[in-house]
Amino acid sequence: MSLLELKNVSKIYGELHALDNVNLKVEKGEWVSIMGPSGSGKSTMMNIIGCMDKPTKGEVLLDGVDIAKESKKNLTTIRRDKIGLIFQQFHLVNYLTALENVMLAQYYHSMPDEKEALEALERVGLKDRAKHLPSQLSGGEQQRVCVARALINYPEIVLADEPTGNLDEANEEIVVDLFHKLHDEGTTLIVVTHDPEVAEVAQRMVVLRSGKIAKEKVNDHFTGKIRFE
């Protein structure tokens, strides 16, 4: 059974078909990127997978559970337990330190554990900046805190929405590097982006156009160990 399966999913806003009969399977440990121009339904798809929205029609099976049928409250729980989110605008709580921002995710999930949170920051190379506030961190550093926060509860899927959209090239590199590392460790990654460079390093690339999957391409060169140079 696939970790995530979208079966005939449609999202309709009045006349507009944001998603139109989409079918998609993501296996455990896979790294999938979703590409497409603005208005192609990327965000809608991301929201549905991230349990922040429900489809108008179709089934979304996450770990065998149809999240399209769950209540809002249960969706929050599922999101908390199974999904780690990374945003384009980082979205850190600006009055909490890097460490506390990571611990916030632990707090809502189970128990805050300072040591574990510090280890997570170490993994993204920010151990020495743990006590800094978001305003004292660069964009790349903030995004790495976001990654650490997304990973802290060992989610089934890490869902990144334009993770490099607000970053310069050097930081983009660092973040993509981090994704490689995550993939190597067996994390399931779904990256929504319209940056082909970021999309192409994934194992599999799905291109959306007008709410439909226009193209699916498996990266032949992908070995899993190759770093983005």
Partner 1 sequence: MSKRKMFFRMIVASLLRRRSRMLVALLSIAIGATILSGLVTIYYDVPRQMGAEFRNYGANMILTAADEAFTQEDAAQGIGRIAKSDLVGYAPYRYENVRVHESPIVVAGTDPEGAKKTSPYWNVDGEWPAASGEVMVGANVAESFRLSVGSTLTVSYTPEGKVQKGEALEDLTADYKITGIVETGGSEEDYIYMSLDDLAALTKEQGTLDVCEVSVSGGADAVKKYVDQINSSVDTVRARVVKRVTASEATVLTKLQALVLLVTVVVLALTMICVATTMTAVVAERRREIGLRKAIGAPDSSIIKEFMGESMMLGLLGGILGSVLGFIFAQEVSTRVFSSSIRFRPLLVPVTILVSIAVTAASSLMPIRSATDVDPALVLKGE
Partner 2 sequence: MFLRMIRGTLFRQWKKMLMIAFTIALGASLATAMLSVMLDVGDKVNQELKTYGANITVVPKSASVLNNLYDMEGDSSGAYLREDELGKIKTIFWAFNIVDYAPFVNVKSELDDGSKVTVVGSWFNHHMDLPTGEALDAGVASMRSWWEIKEGEWLDESKTGEDADAAMVGTVLAEQQGLHAGDTLHVKGEAGERSLKIVGIYDAGSDEDEQIYAPLNTAQALAGIDGCVDSIEVSALTTPENELAERARRDGPSSLTVAQYEKWYCTAYASSICWQIQEAITDCVASPVRQVADSEGAILEKTQLLMILITILSLIGAALGICNLVTASVMERSSEIGLMKAIGAQNGAVSLLVLTEIFITAIFGGVIGFFAGWGFAQIIGHTVFGSAITMRGMVIPIVAVLVVLVTLIGSIPAIRMLLRLRPAEVLHGR
Q: Which residues bind partner 1 (CB under 8 A)?
A: 43, 47, 50, 52-53, 73, 76-77, 79-81, 85, 87, 89, 91, 93-97, 100, 103-105, 107-109, 111-114, 133, 149
Q: According to the binding rule CB under 8 A, does residue 89 interact with partner 2?
A: yes
81 binds, among partner 1, partner 2, none (CB under 5 to 8 A by kind): partner 1
Q: According to the binding rule CB under 8 A, does residue 43 interact with partner 2?
A: no
Q: Which is nearer to partner 1, 115 or 221 (by Cβ)?
A: 115
107 binds, among partner 1, partner 2, none (CB under 5 to 8 A by kind): partner 1
The C-alpha atoms of residue 40 and residue 211 are separated, in whole angstroms, by 5
The C-alpha atoms of residue 216 and residue 204 are separated, in whole angstroms, by 7
Q: Shortest approach of partner 2 to residue 41 CB, angstroms? A: 23
Q: Which is nearer to partner 2, 112 or 165 (by Cβ)?
A: 165
H/E run at residue 195: none
Q: Shortest approach of partner 1 to residue 189 CB, angstroms? A: 18
Strand residues in the chain grouped as ranges (E): 4-13, 16-26, 31-35, 57-62, 65-66, 83-86, 157-161, 188-192, 204-209, 212-218
Q: According to the binding rule CB under 8 A, does residue 169 interact with partner 2?
A: no
> How many other CB atoms sit within 10 Å of the CB of residue 21?
15
Residue type, 38: S
The C-alpha atoms of residue 105 and residue 111 are separated, in whole angstroms, by 9
